[in-house]
Structure 1
Amino acid sequence: MNNQQGAALVVVMALLSGSLMLGMSGMQSALIDEQLAGNYRASVQAKMNSDSMMSEFRKNESQSLLDEIYNTECENNASCYEEYERNILDSLEGIEGLGSIVKAVKVEKNNDEIIITMIDQGTNNDAVGETVATYKKGSEDVGLGGDDNDGEGNDGDSGGASSLPFESPIVGCEGVQSSGGSTFSSYNSGVGGWVEGQPGSFAEQDIPLVRTTSANANVVLGGSEHIHGGIEALGTVTLNGSSKVFGSILANQTIYLNAGGGYVQRNAESRADVIFGSSTRVDGVVRAQGIVSLTWGASVGKGIYAQRGVSSPGDPQWNPPEGHIDEDNRSNFFPHTSVSISEIDSQPCDIVDFAGNTLSEEIARYQNDLASIGDVVVNDGVVDITMTPSSISVSGSDIHEHVNGAVPSDDTLFGEAARIYYVDDLNMASKSKLQITGGNVVLVVGGDFTMGGGGAGLVIDIDSSLTVFVAGKVNFGSVLNIEPEVNSINSNGQATFSLFSGYQGSGSGVDFNSSNRVVANVYAPYTNVSVNSGANFFGSVRGRSVNVSGDGSIVYDELLGGAFGNPDDVWDLIGWQ
C-alpha cells in the first residue's frame, strides 16, 4: 500500500475528462443541429409566405395594372414603380394569414417583360423568402405553376376569371367526375402530334389540367385515371382505384387519397385535411391546414406539414408518422405548425364576354335577329350536306330543297362582322354527312343538334372551322370520326370545332358517345357535359359539370388558349420561381 503513487486517480480523472469533452462535443453538435433545423424551418416558412403573397396577387391581378406598369417610362429609375408597389402591398393587407408577414414588393420591367417579386423580409428568425413572377404579353405559354419541385410553398396557379373560352382543358364548374380509366393530357400541335404517355406542358410545369370553379365543387377520379397535370378544386378531391396525378393537387376542402397504388407526382395541399385511405405515394410534400391521416403503405417524398396534427395507424413506436417520409427528408416533419394555403376563389361558369352579352343572351339575340332556314332533318338515305361560309348545297335528297342554296345572314360574332346560318333543329342520322369546307362556318341551332347513324358524319377540312351555338340539347354518337390530320386548331390557327351550348334544362345538355376520334371544344356553362369515349377526344371541355367515362383519352391542345380573342393583347405568366 505504501508503494502506490496514485495512478488509478490519474487514470480515472483522465477518463472523466475525456467523457466530459465527448459530452460537451455532443451537446455542441446537438445545439448546432437544432439551430440548423430552426434556420431551415424559418427559410421554408419564409418561402411559403412569399408564395402565398404571390398567389393572392395572381388571383387579383388585372391586365390593366400590368399594362400601366408596362407603359410607365422609368428610364432605369426603379423608384418610379414605388406607387405600384405600395398599391400591391395595400391589396395584400387584411388577407387571412398574411397580416403578420413583414412583407415587401418589387416591380421591375425588363424589355418586354414585367417582373413582380414578393418578399418576406424576415418574419421568422430574420429568414428572407422571395417569389418571382415574370409576365410577357402574347406568349404562347399557357401559364406556370411553381418550379419549386420540393413543393415547400403554395406554388399552384389558381388563376383568375378568364375571358377565353378554351383556356383551361377540363373545367366542371360544379364538379368533375371520371371513371373507366381515362387519360387526361396535353400537347402542342404546333410542335407535333400527341404521343400517348408523353406529358405536355401542364405536367412539366405543374399547371391545373382539371379544375372546378364553384364553392364546394368536387373532383372524383373513380377508376385508374391518369392526369398529366394538376388538379384544383374548391371542394374535395378524391382519388380511387389506381389513379395517378402527374402534377399537384390543391383543394379548399379535404383531399382523399384512396387509390391503392395511386400516385401524386408533385404536392397534395388542402385547406382542410389530407386523408390517406390506401397506399398512395406523394412524391412532393403534403400540406394541410387541418390534419394529415396516414395509413399502412402510404408514403411521402419530401415532407409533411400539418396545422392540427399527423396520425398513423398502429403503435407510434413501431410506425411513427415521420417514418412515412423518405429517410433523407424526415427532418421535414412538422405536425403542429402554421400552414398558409391561399383559398381558391370561386368564379362564374359563364366567363366569356360576347360583346357585352352572356352566352344565353347572345343565343337569344341570334334567335330574335336571324332568319331561319328551317329544320334540317335526315332520317333516311345517303344525304350529303356541304356548308361553306357563303352557301349550303345538298346532294342525295329531294326533300331538302329549302336547305339547298341557302345563304347566311349578316351579323356579328364576338363583336366582329360575320355571316351566320340559323336552323331550327339539326338532326342527321342514317348515312348522312355534314362537310365544312372553304373557310370558317358559323351556325346557330335554335333547337337540338343531333348526329348519329353510320355515315361519314361531321367532316371538317383542315383549313376550315365550324362554330356552333345551340339553344337545345346536343347528342353526338359514333358518327363523329375526325381524321388524324385534323387537330383542335386548324391550319389557320383557329379552333376547328367550337360548340357553345346555352341549354339550361334538366339532364345532360351535351353528350358525346363515340368510339372514334373526336375533335371538339365545348363551352356549356349552364349544363352537364358527358363524354363517353373509348377512343381519343381532342379538345377542351367547360361545363356546369363534367362526367367522363370510358378508357379513352381527353387531350388538350395548348394552342387553344388564344383561339378566340387576341392572345397578343393578354399578359401571360411565363415564369415563377
Structure 2
Amino acid sequence: MNRQKGFTLLSVMILTTMTSIIVLSSLRDNFIQERLTGNYQKKMNARLVSEKGIFETHKRVIEELSINPDATIAELINDTLGENPYITGSAETDNMSYAAQLGVNSDGLLELSSDGKRFEGANNTVALFELVNKGAASAFSSGLIGCEGVTSTAGGRIDAYNSSLGAYSRETSIPASATTTIHQDSHVTLSGGASVWGDVSATGNIKLSGGATVYGDVHANGNITIDVGPQNGRKSDEMPEGETIYISVSGDVLSNGDVTLAQTQIGGVIRAEKNLTLGSGRLNEVLNRDNNGKDIMYGGILTTPNSLPSQYHQDGLLYTDPTFNVLPNVPTVPSRLPDSEIDENFDTTDPAKNCDPIGIDNNMSEYKELGLESLALRSENSIYMLYDRSYTAPSQAPVWGESFPSLSARNEQLPTGESVPMFKVKDLLLNGGALKVAANNDVYLFVDGDFTLTTSGSSKLEIEDGASLTLFVTGKVHIQKGVVQTEGLTDSGNPVFSIYSSYQGEDGVKVNATGDFYAAIYAPKTDALIKASGSTMGSIRAKTVSIDGAGGFHYDTKLGEIGNVSTCCGATKLVFKGWRYL
C-alpha cells in the first residue's frame, strides 16, 4: 500500500497540466479572434473615412468647375489642389483620417483617390468621373426640376444612382439628386419623412419641416426655414457615412434672404444676406465640419434666445459678437427672367434658365395630323405589339368601347434634329388591354390627346429588353400601374421610357402607380404629380413637381448624359463612371 502513495497527486498534476494546455489554447484562439475582429473593424472604418474623402473632394471639384466651366481636367485638378498634393481631413471619430489625390487614368477619366486610415487599418477608394464638355445639353440634368415649384411630402428617400452600373439599390445610391426651380420666386417645400441625398436650390424660398433631411447644400435666392426634428427612427444605413439623426442639413445653408434654424444641426456653415434666427433647442448647432471660415455670417439682424445656448460660439466668441455680422455675398441661383425683361440675347435653349429649352409646342404642331383615330384596349386579349416601323394588332374583333386603328410610321424630326419613324393616334387608353414594344426596337408614338393606363387587372404597358418607348402627348397623362421594363438607356442612347407633354392645364402628368416606375418626364407647361407606392426612377422636368407616397424617388444620373437639347450653351459637367476599392 505504501508504494501507491502520491499516485493521486500525480494524477491531479497531469489533469491540471492538460487543463492548462486547453485553457491556454483557448485563450490563444480568443486572442487571435479578437485581433481579427479589431483589424476588420479598423479596415471598415478606414473604408468609410476614405469614402468621406471622395465626397469632400468631389464637392471641391464641383465648386471649381462652377467657377471655371471651361476648365480642362488638368486645369480642374490644379485649381482644386492648388499648391497641396493632397486634400486631407478627418471624421468625428478619433484617429480616422483621409488623404485624397486627383489624377487622370489611362482612359482619360478624372480619378479621385482617397486613402483612409483608422489606427493600423487602411483602405483606398477610387471614384472615376468623365468630364463632359459643352455641346448638346440634357433637359434631365437634375433629378427634380420644378420650374415654378417643388413640393415633397414623400416618406421614401430621394437620391441618385447610375443605371449603367445596374438597377437601383440603396447600396449603390449616391448623393447626387439635385432638386431645383427655374422661374423667379419659385419655392421648394420639403416635409414628410423623406431624406434628400443631394443639393436643394430655389429661385425663391426653401422650407424644410417634419423629417425632410437634406444631405447636401441648400441654396435659395429667398428665405430658408429649417424646422426639422431629430430623426429618431432613422437607421445608420439610411444616412450617408458620418451623419447622425440630429442633422437637418449636412452641407451649407446659403441664402440671399433670411435664414431660420429652428431645430437640429447644420453640418456646414450658415450664410444669410439678410437676417438670421437661431432657435433655443439644446440640439441646435452649426458644426462647420470643413472649417470653412466663420460658422455663421449674416448681413442683417441676429435673433437668438434670451439665454444663449452654450453651443452658439466659435473660437471663444459668442455668435452675438459683431465679428459674425458680415455680409457674406451669397451667389444667386440662376433663374429665368420675367417675359417683360427678356431681350434678344436670352438663350432659350439653356436648360438652366429656361423651363422649355426644347420648344415643345413647335414639335407638337409639326406632328399633328387630321383624321387620327383613338386606340382603346379593354380586353385581356387585346394586345398591340409595336416595332420601330411596323406593328401587330389583335386578331379578334374589338369589344364594346375598343378601337383598333390602322397605324403607319411616318418620318418626323425630333427636337435634336434627328429623323425617326413615328406612329400617331388620337387618345390612347389601356383599360384591360396591353401595349407592348418589341425587344431591341426604339419606338416613337405621338398621342394627340390623352394617354391613360388604368389599374385594371390585365392593363399593361410593357417595354421588352433592349427596347425604348418615347411618347409625345398633347393631352393629359395618367399612369396608375407600374410599367414593365428595365431601367436606364438602350444601346442606341434612348431612355427606356420617355414622356414629352405639351399640355398647358393643371395636373397634366399624374403617376400613382402601384409598382415600380422608370421614366424621363418632360412637361414644362403643366404639373407633374407623383404618388407611387413603389419606387420612381428617372428624372422629372415640369412646371411644378409634387412627390408623395412611400416609395421615394431615385434620379438616374445617366439621363444627364443625353444630348436632347441642341444648344451651344450646355454646361461642362462631371459624370460619375464607377468605384474601385483597393
Q: Specify the TM-score bucket, using the shorter chain as the normaliser.
A: 0.5 to 0.7
**In 2: Cα distance, 1:253 partner to 1:354 partner:** 20
Indicate the residue corresponding to 2:555 in structure 1.
556
Deviation at 1:522, TM superposition (A): 0.3
Q: Does 1:282 align with 2:266?
A: yes
2:425 corresponds to 1:423: yes
Cα distance change on mapping 1:305 and 1:392 into 2, 3 Å: same
Q: Deviations over 1:163-209 (max 9, x none)?
A: 4221211000000001131311101122233222654151xxxxx61
Alpha-carbon offset, residue 461 of structure 1: 1.5
1:299 aligns to 2:269 (yes or no)? no
> In structure 2, how many angstroms separate the alpha carbons of the residues matched to 1:224 and 1:327?
35
Contact in 1 for aligned 2:390/2:409 (Cα 8 Å): yes
What is the match of residue 313 of structure 1? 305
Deviation at 1:312, TM superposition (A): 1.7
* TM-score using structure 2 length: 0.66
Residues 516, 176 of structure 1: alpha-carbon distance in 2 compared, 3 angstrom cutoff: same
Which secondary structure state, in structure 2, belongs to the residue aligned with residue 559 of structure 1?
helix
Q: 1:235–1:252: 8 Å Cα contact kept in structure 2?
A: yes
**What CA distance in whole angstroms lies between the structure 2 residues aligned with 1:473 and 1:513?**
14
> Residue 166 of structure 1 aligns with which residue?
140
Partners of 2:356 and 2:465 in 1: CA distance: 28
Paired amino acid for 2:499: L
- Mapped pair 1:335 → 2:324: yes
Residue of structure 2 in register with 1:212 after alignment: 181
CA distance in 2, matches of 1:537, 1:116: 39
Corresponding letter in the other structure for 2:487: N
Match of 2:25 in 1: none
Shift of residue 243, structure 1, vs aligned partner: 1.4
**Would you say 1:273 and 2:253 are equivalent positions?**
no
Following superposition, the deviation at residue 135 of structure 1 comes to 13
Find out whether 1:362 has 2:363 as its counterpart.
yes
Give the letter for the 2:464 counterpart: D
State the 1:514 CA deviation: 1.0
Flag the 1:389–1:198 CA change in 2: closer, same or farther, 3 A.
closer
**What is the CA-CA distance between 1:428 and the residue it aligns to?**
1.1
Q: Distance in 2 between matches of 1:327 and 1:457?
A: 63
Distance in 1 between the 2:205 and 2:171 partners?
27
Summarize the Cα distance change of 1:568–1:475 in structure 2 as closer, same or farther, 3 Å threshold: closer
What do the CA deviations read for 1:82-125 (whole angstroms, capped 9, x no partner)?
xxxxxxxxxxxxxxxxxxxxxxxxxx7677x678969x9xxxxx
What corresponds to 1:473 in structure 2?
A: 476
Candidates 136, 150, 165, aligned match of 1:176: 150
CA apart distance, 1:285: 0.7
Instruction: Kindly indicate whether the alpha-carbon contact (under 8 Å) linking 1:465 and 1:494 is maintained by their aligned counterparts in 2.
Output: yes
Aligned residues with identical type, % of pairs: 23
TM (normalized to structure 1)?
0.66
Q: Is the 8 A contact 2:475 2:501 kept in 1?
A: yes
Distance 1:481 1:563 in 2: 22
Residues 519 and 389 of structure 1, relative CA distance in 2, 3 Å threshold: same
Contact 2:137 2:562 survives alignment (8 Å)? no
Alpha-carbon distance, 1:355 to partner: 13
Distance between the aligned counterparts of 1:140 and 1:275, measured in 2?
A: 41
- Give the stretch that moved more between structures: 438-447 or 390-399: 390-399
Quick one: which amino acid aligns to residue 544 of structure 1? K
- Per-residue CA distance 1:375-412 (angstroms, 9 max, x = gap): 10123443111111011212264239984763201222
Contact 1:176 1:219 in 2 (8 A): yes
What amino acid is the match of 2:503? Y
- 8 Å contact kept, 2:220–2:255: yes
- Say which is worse superposed, 455-464 or 374-383, in terms of deviation: 374-383
Number of the residue aligned with 2:291: none
> Which residue of structure 2 lines up, in the alignment, with residue 324 of structure 1?
312
Shift of 1:161: 12
8 Å contact from structure 1 (residues 439, 465) kept in 2? yes
Shift of 1:308: 1.8
CA–CA distance in 2 between the matches of 1:522 and 1:210? 15
Letter in 2 for 1:281: Q
Residue by residue over 1:233-253, the C-alpha shift from the partner in whole angstroms, topping out at 9 and shown as x without a partner, is 011111110211110100111
After superposition, the Cα gap between the structure-2 partners of 1:520 and 1:257, relative to the gap in structure 1 and judged at 3 Å, is same
Distance across 2 between alignment mates of 1:299 and 1:372:
65
The residue that corresponds to 1:9 in the other structure is none
Query: What is the deviation of 1:340?
Result: 1.0
Structure 1 pair 397–184 and aligned structure 2 pair: CA distance change class (3 A): farther
Paired amino acid for 1:180? A
Deviation at 1:324, TM superposition (A): 3.1
How far apart, CA to CA, are the structure 2 residues paired with 1:240 and 1:257?
A: 6
Pairwise mapping of residues 3-14 of structure 1 onto structure 2 (< 5 A)?
Answer: none
Offset at residue 431 of structure 1 (A): 4.3
| 2:393 match: secondary structure | strand
Q: 1:482 corresponds to which residue? A: 484
Amino acid at match of 2:307: D
CA 1:299–1:187: 2 relative to 1, 3 Å: same
Unaligned ranges ≥5, structure 1: 1-49, 67-107, 121-132, 142-159, 203-207
Distance 1:253-1:189 versus aligned 2 partners, 3 A rule? same
1:459-514: CA deviation from partner (whole Å, max 9, x where unpaired): 11221111111001100112x2435xx11323544211110000012x20000011
* Deviating more after overlay: 421-430 vs 560-569: 560-569
Q: Give per-residue Cα distances to partners, 1:321-340, cap 9 Å, x unaligned.
A: xx235889979974311211
Partner of 1:188: 162
Q: Which SS does the other structure have where 1:190 is aligned?
A: helix
Conserved? CA contact 1:373–1:406, under 8 Å: no
In the TM superposition, 1:440-451 aligns within 5 A as 440-451=442-453
CA contact (8 A) 2:185 2:205 kept: yes
Q: Residue type matched to 2:222 in 1? A: Q
Query: What is the aligned-residue RMSD (CA, Å)?
Result: 4.1
Corresponding residue SS for 2:471 = strand
Contact persistence 2:220–2:256 (CA under 8 A): yes
* Distance in structure 2 (CA, Å) of the matches to 1:327 and 1:354: 45
Opposite residue 434 of structure 1, the aligned amino acid is K
Give the letter for the 1:406 counterpart. L
Structure 1 distance, partners of 2:474, 2:449, is 6
**Partner-residue secondary structure (3-state), 1:232:** strand
Alignment partner of 2:271: what SS?
A: strand
C-alpha displacement of 1:548 = 0.8
Task: Write the distance in 2 (CA, Å) between the matches of 1:402 and 1:178.
Answer: 39
Q: What displacement does 1:564 show?
A: 3.5
Query: 2-side partners of 1:183 and 1:328: how far apart?
Result: 39
Over 3 Å counting, the alpha-carbon distance change for 1:294 and 1:199 in structure 2 is farther
Residues 176 and 246 of structure 1: is their aligned pair in 2 closer, same or farther, counting only changes over 3 Å?
Answer: same
Which consecutive residues of structure 2, in runs of 5 or more, have no partner in the other structure?
1-59, 83-101, 111-133, 231-246, 289-294, 338-347, 576-582
C-alpha contact 1:389 1:440 (8 A) present in aligned 2: yes
CA distance in 2 between partners of 1:215 and 1:197 (Å): 37
Change (3 A) 1:398 1:367: same
Paired letter, 1:454: G
Take 1:307 and 1:511, find their aligned partners in 2: how far apart are those partners?
Answer: 43
Q: Which amino acid in the other structure matches residue 328 of structure 2?
A: V
Residues in 1 aligned to 2:531 and 2:62: alpha-carbon distance in whole angstroms = 38
How many residue pairs match? The answer is 432
Q: C-alpha distance in 2, partners of 1:304/1:173?
A: 30
Q: Larger deviation: 161-170 or 334-343? A: 161-170
